[in-house]
Amino acid sequence: MSKPKVVILGAGYGGLVTAIRLQKLIKADEVAVTLVNKHDYHYMTTHLHMPAAGTDHHENARVDIKDLIDERKIHFIKATVQQIVPEEKKVVLSDEVLTYDYLVVGLGSETETFGIPGLREYAMTINSINSVRFIRQHTQYMFAKYKLDSKHQEYLTIVVGGAGFTGTEFVGELADRIPDLCQMFDVDPSLVQIINIEASPTALPPGLPNDLVEYGMDVMRRKGVQYKLSTAIKACEPGGVLLGDGQFIPAGTVIWSGGVRGNSLLQDAGFHVQRGRVKVDDYLRSLQFPDVFITGDCSIVMSPEGTPYPANAQIAVQQGYNTAKNLLYSLTGKPLRPFAYDYKGTVASLGRGEAIGILKVKKVKGRLAAFLKKIIDARYLFLIGGIPLIFKKMIFKQKQAT
Ligand code: FAD
C-alpha cells in the first residue's frame, strides 16, 4: 500500500515549524512528507529590517533548510510553486507536479499597494533576503551618487511609507546606520533625511498604549526621524513621492512597508479570500477544501471576540505546532485539536538598545525591551535549530555587516 502524502508549501514560520514538528511525530517510513520552498534556506522575516538598513549581515537572517530537517523523513524540493489545484489535489511546480492527500499552505504574503500608482515600480519592499540586499546596496549607491553630484541633495533623502511594525523597525535601524554611512562617504549628517509617512494619525505598531507610542516616537525623533502622520502617499515616481495634499517629496530611496496581503496563488486556485487570505476552520483547514491546512500570513483566524487576529510570526509558529499535530491525527483517524492562539505579547525594535512592547499585559520599553526582543529571537532559533543555531546566528555571527 502506498504511503499517505503530505505536501507543505513554503518554509517560512508556519510551513517550516509544521515540517520540523511533524518530523518529530512520525517514523521515516510512515508518511511521504514533501516540503517545497522557493529558496534552499529559511529566512527570519522578523530580522530583515537589520540587513535592509545595513546594521547586520543578511547571512545572519537565514538558515539552510537542510540543516533543519531530517532528510530521512522530509523530502525537500527547492522550487517555486506555480499553481495549486485543490479539486485535483495537485500542486504544479516549475518542472514537476506533486499530488497530495493533505496539503499545508504557508506561502506567506505579498506587498499590498492599495492601488497606489508607481509603488510597485519605484518603491522597494522589505520581504526577502534578496529584497534587503537590494535596499542596502541602493542606499549606499545613493550616498556614492550624491558625492559625484552634490547639487542633488534628494539622493540623501530616504522615504519610508508605513509606520507599522516593519516600517518602524526599519527606520530605527536605518537611523543608527546613517552615521556610519556618512563617515564612509564623507557626507555631512545634517543633509540626510529619513521621513516616515503614515496614513493613520499615530506611528508604531497598532495596539500599543499611547504612552509607549509617545516614548517610541520620541526615541525615533531624537535619532533624527521625521514623521508625517495622517498623510497618504498618492503616487510614487522615479524621483520621490507625491502626497495626498499635493506636496512632492524628492527622494533617492523609497521603501514601502504600508501593508501585505496573502499569497495570490490562493486566490488563483479558487479559495475564497479576503485581501488574499483564507478564513480557516477551528483546525486551520480551508472551509472549502478540508484536506488543505493554511498557516501564517495566508490564513485568517478569528478570535473568540469575532475579529481576525493580526498576522505575525508568533501566530504562524503556533499554527505550525497545531498543524503538525492535526496532520498526524488526520492520518491516524483521531479527532483533530482546535487551534487556540496564546498571545504572549509584542515587542518592536526601535534600533540599537531601544524597543517597546507588551508582554501579556506588562508594558516594557528601553534596554529591557530590547533585551527581551533578543530573547524572543533566540527562543525562535532554539525552537527550529537548538542551542547550536543560537550560537551560530546570534553569538558567534558568521558574517558581520559591512
Ligand atoms: P513567511 O515567513 O513569509 O514564509 C513564506 C515562505 O514561502 C518563504 O520561505 C517564501 O520564500 C516561500 N514562498 C513564497 N512564495 C513561494 C512560491 N511561489 N513557491 C515556493 N515558495 C514560496 N512578526 C512578528 O510576530 N514579530 C515581529 O517582530 C515581526 N517583524 C517583522 C519585520 C519585518 C521586516 C517583516 C517584513 C515582518 C515582520 N513580522 C513580524 C511579520 C512576520 O514576519 C510574518 O507574519 C511571518 O513571516 C508570516 O509567516 P509565514 O509562514 O506565513 O510566511
pLDDT exceeds cutoff 70 at 108: yes
Q: Report CA(294)–ligand 1 centroid distance (Å).
A: 14
Cα distance between residue 263 and residue 266, in whole Å: 6
Q: Where are the domains of the chain?
A: 5-111+260-343, 119-256
Q: Are 285 and 292 in contact (CB under 8 A)?
A: yes
Q: Which of 35, 165, 379 to mutate to test the pocket of ligand 1 (most atoms within 8 A of CB)?
A: 165
The three grid cell numbers given for residue 92, joined into one nine-digit string: 504544479
Which tens digits make up the pLDDT trace of 61-100? 999 999 999 999 999 999 999 999 999 999 999 999 999 9
Question: Does residue 246 have a pLDDT over 90?
Answer: yes
Taking CA atoms only, the protein residue closest to ligand 1 atom 45 is 312
Q: Which fold has domain 5-111+260-343?
A: FAD/NAD(P)-binding domain (3.50.50)
Verify whether ligand 1 is closer than 6 Å to residue 56 (CB atom).
Answer: no
Say how many Å lie between the CA of residue 332 and the centre of ligand 1. Answer: 30
Are 5-111+260-343 and 119-256 the same fold in CATH?
yes
CA 169 to chain centre: 12
HSE (side-chain half, CA atoms, 13 Å) at 223: 27
Strand stretches in 155-232, DSSP E? 157-161, 193-197, 225-228
- DSSP class of residue 350 equals -
**pLDDT score for 107:** 98
CA distance 108 to 171: 23
User: CB of 39 closer than 6 A to ligand 1?
Assistant: yes
For residue 99, give the H/E element and its range.
strand 97-99
Residue nearest to atom 41 of ligand 1 (CA): 312
- Cell 554611512 appears where? 181
Rounded CA separation 336/316 (Å)? 18
What is the average pLDDT score of the chain? Answer: 95
Residue with cell 497530495: 100
What is the distance in A from the centroid of ligand 1 to the CA of 239? 29
In the predicted model, is pLDDT for residue 397 greater than 80?
no
Q: What is the mean pLDDT of residues 271-299?
A: 97
Q: How many CB atoms are closer than 10 A to CB 38?
A: 16
At 9 the pLDDT is 98
**pLDDT of 161 above 70:** yes
The rounded distance, in Å, linking the Cα atoms of 253 and 353 is 26
Instruction: Give the amino acid at 363.
Output: K
Pairing of strands 97-99, 5-9: unpaired
Region 315-324: what's the mean pLDDT? 98
Decide: 45 in ligand 1 pocket, CB within 6 A.
Answer: yes
The answer to whether residues 213 and 202 touch, using CB atoms and an 8 Å cutoff, is yes
Helix (H) or strand (E) holding 105: strand 102-105
> Looking at residue 400, what is its pLDDT?
67
- Cα of 314 vs centre of ligand 1, distance in Å, is 11
Note the helical H segments in 186-311. Answer: 210-222, 264-268
Q: Is 319 in the pocket of ligand 1 (CB under 6 A)?
A: no
Q: Which of 10-19, 27-36, 317-326 has the lowest mean pLDDT?
A: 27-36
171 pLDDT more than 80:
yes
Neighbours of 15 (CB within 10 A): 28
| Cα within 13 Å of Cα(24), Cβ side | 12
ipTM of the complex: 0.97
Do residues 297 and 290 touch, judged by C-beta distance below 8 A?
A: no
Gap between the Cα atoms of 114 and 146, Å rounded: 32
The atom number, within ligand 1, closest to the CA of 108 reads: 53
* pLDDT score of 2: 84
Name the residue type at position 267.
Q
pLDDT digits 0-9 by tens, 338-380: 999 999 999 999 999 999 999 988 999 999 999 999 999 999 9
Cβ neighbours of 318 (radius 10 Å): 21
Q: Which of 59, 112, 169, 198 is the catalytic position?
A: 169
Query: Structure pTM?
Result: 0.95
- Tell me if residue 154 is catalytic: no
Out of 3.90.1150.10, 1.10.2020.10, 3.40.190.10, 3.50.50.60, select the CATH number for domain 119-256: 3.50.50.60
Strand ordering across the sheet containing 90-93: 81-85, 90-93, 97-99
